[in-house]
Amino acid sequence: MKKSRGILSLVVTAALIALLAFTTTAGFGKTHTGSARNIKLGLDLAGGVSITYQVKDKNPTKEEMSDTIYKLQKRVEQYSTESSVYQEGEDRINIEIPGVSNANEILDELGQPGSLYFIAQTGSDDSANYSQTGSTGDAAQDYKLNKTLEELEKDGSVILTGNDVKGAQAGTREDELTGQRQNVVSLTLNEEGTKKFAEATKAAVEKTPKESIGIYYDGSFVSVPTVNNAIENGQAEISGSMTFEEADSLASTIRIGGLKLELTELRSNVVGAQLGEQAISTSLKAGAIGLALVFLFMIFAYYLPGFAASLALIIYTELVLVILNAFEVTLTLPGIAGIILGIGMAVDANVIIFARVKEEMSRGKSVRNSLKTGFQKALSAILDGNITTLIAAVVLWFMGSGTVKGFAQTLGIGIIVSMFTALVVTRIIIFAFYAVGLRSEKLYYRPAKERASIDFLAKKKVFFAASVLVIAIGAVFIGINAGGGKGAFAYSLEFEGGTATNVTFNEDYSIEEIDEKIVPVVEKVTGDANVQTQKVAGTNQVIIKTVTLELSKREELNRELADNFGVDEAEITAENISSTVSGEMRRDAVIAVIAATICMLLYIWLRFKDIRFATSAVTALLHDVLVVLAFYAVARISVGNTFIACMLTIVGYSINATIVIFDRIREELHYASGKTDLKALVNKSITQTLTRSIYTSLTTFIMVAVLFVMGVSSIKEFALPLMAGIVCGAYSSVCITGALWYVMKKKFVKK
């Protein structure tokens, strides 16, 4: 790079940092486009809409309620992945959607759940069941019913309901006649629906001209496709001139239209943030302090390259905020913690690069050649580590729901931006520094004695035994807790449900005042250390969520609230609520994690061309998860939504750390001969990557530790087990993974 290009690169970098800083802090125009203030915030940060539905059916079964809640959860995720749906009492369903403030608009869009019908064009008397009234073409909205739904059902013209549809998926295919690509919606019917649809489609194609089947949802037609062939296998396809977005919307409508229960709106409220501005500002300050400490550490450890990495990390942080805004990702307090954690993890790629640069310079190479070689040799480890984690994020996004989906979004954004800033931005900045004349070796390299290879494998039995012992202690605590009636883990409201108490106070308390004055009284009576509160906007009402309270505890709480705050006991209402993380959502999370693990295993196997690498990596990943689970059980830390985010973060962190060591082993094997001592090779690889393991773990630990020291209780619940996971991940990557691979290599030799 010439000096003029170097100066230009630095000027562009400075301008980019300034532009992104202006965008995230102020934004453009009257609407402040691009500003961080426009990022959609979750219920805990900005409040939202709370809607309660009453089930019309009498005595709904547990299965019907569970199915309806799950399908509603899928539907409200179109507004935010952080939306939650849970049962209230015996026959009510509560929906909480963050980041919105117009309850009526949401109610209009949600419509009347449970009213999807497939209707024949003509009835038993050959009269038209529906007809076209508009003049704008063949759009579905131009059709209207000629009869009531009751008349159609009595006549047998309702072919299917939403309960007969197992699934609906948008896709594209090539038209057999024209060869053009067209968007379609594929339907899968259950056994009963298959039989009914086969009869109906056969009757429709026998008519002249062929008849249509109208899909009627929530008071209007959403599609009126003509039947071209009898469909007897339960696999139908809707095609026509529609965009993929329209096809996806239609598929979504069909999927969630088939609720088992009819619902009617009971009440709707706009609720305030669960956490005050002080909690948000404290977390942001913690992030800024943590980021500053990481900058200082990088500069101390790597001099000028460390400064270049710090500038790239500033761009990383700003880009993430802009992308969160652009893609309308809903941000919750754990999400902020995840972003701050991502900043710490983004250091990893830079550490890998600069560790390689120092190795090359220690061999006597020039600064320029060391920089070029360092980036080249670090590329495979960075790509493999990040792609492996990105695969997990993609699988979690498609298969997960709720918090898992939200986490996958943030994780995916962080990985892509991290790779860009490390491989492109850092490279441009560091070579620009070199081009403008900053070429002294002292700016890039601190001479040090070459570290002798440490014999990690000699202690492998000790390491394995220690890991088994920790996991066994966790299992014992889980058994003792479960046997003692306390529960295997300290499950929070999100996992176990509880009681929601609605109190109307005599004055309008702020969120901070609620936390300072009301919550301590509730904690004293209930013994619940994780009380959640929501303020109903425009009123003095506060919804207090606690563990499930027996009648005596409810009465005691009512008395305490009346004595301390002068509220009218008669106006206090309480209902038991179900967990916001339903059984189906937990199942989705488990299936998604298993699928993600399998995909990661296959990728590692493909890239390293040895199943033992993949097996060792996944075993180490499982080890880290079990150790952190043991930590949760022993420390009795609350298991809620942050638990899911924490465990998923550890999965991504663990696999990334392992890949770096395996990449070095793979490189050493490339130069090995038949006489090479495999044990010495593994020890050398672990020793060479030891600095990277320590530095990356330390920078990530610093970010999370600052959060733990300065954060509010919900952040502390996220940060503490995460710190344990970071320490465990560093231990397993250094002491377990290489030893596991070595044992498998010696025990299971390829024939």
pLDDT averaged over consecutive 10-residue blocks of the chain (751 residues)?
Answer: 87 92 83 76 71 83 82 76 81 82 66 74 91 68 87 90 81 76 87 91 90 86 89 87 81 72 77 62 79 88 90 90 81 65 74 86 88 90 84 80 72 85 91 91 78 88 94 92 82 82 89 84 85 82 88 90 90 83 71 82 86 88 90 85 75 79 88 84 90 84 85 75 89 91 79 41
Domains recognised in the chain with CATH numbers: 43-108 (3.30.70.3400), 116-258 (3.30.1360), 277-444+458-471+583-747 (no CATH), 498-577 (3.30.70.100)
Q: How far apart are the first and last CA of the chain?
A: 50
Token match 């494998």: residue? 457
Full 3-state SS string of 365-420? CCHHHHHHHHHHHHHHHHHHHHHHHHHHHHHHHHHCCCHHHHHHHHHHHHHHHHHH
What lies within 8 Å, CB to CB, of 666 at 6+ separation is 608, 613
* Residue 90 neighbours by CB distance under 10 Å: 12
Single out the residue of 267, 273, 256, 274 nearest to residue 51, CA to CA.
267
| Cα distances (Å, whole numbers) of residue 268 to 107, 110, 563, 605, 620 | 9, 13, 30, 52, 47
Q: Are 702 and 629 in contact (CB under 8 A)?
A: no
At 312, which amino acid appears? A
Q: Model-level pTM?
A: 0.71
User: What integer pLDDT is reported at residue 252 of this predicted model?
Assistant: 73
Between β-strands 84-88 and 181-189, what pairing exists: parallel, antiparallel or unpaired? Answer: unpaired
- Tokens linked to 618: 């996944």
Q: Are 615 and 744 in contact (CB under 8 A)?
A: yes
Phi/psi region, residue 684 (left: phi>0; alpha: psi -120 to 50; beta: rest), is: alpha
- Tokens linked to 593: 């994690």
User: What integer pLDDT is reported at residue 159 of this predicted model?
Assistant: 92
Tell me which DSSP letter residue 78 carries.
Answer: T
665-677 residues labelled b (16+ CB within 10 A) or e (exposed): bbebbeeeeeeee
- Residue 577 to residue 546: CA distance in whole angstroms: 10
User: What integer pLDDT is reported at residue 751 of this predicted model?
Assistant: 41
Burial of 573 per CB tally in 10 Å (0-12, 13-18, 19+): exposed
Q: Are 329 and 39 in contact (CB under 8 A)?
A: yes
Distance of CA 65 to the CA centre of its chain: 25
Between β-strands 92-98 and 84-88, what pairing exists: parallel, antiparallel or unpaired? Answer: antiparallel
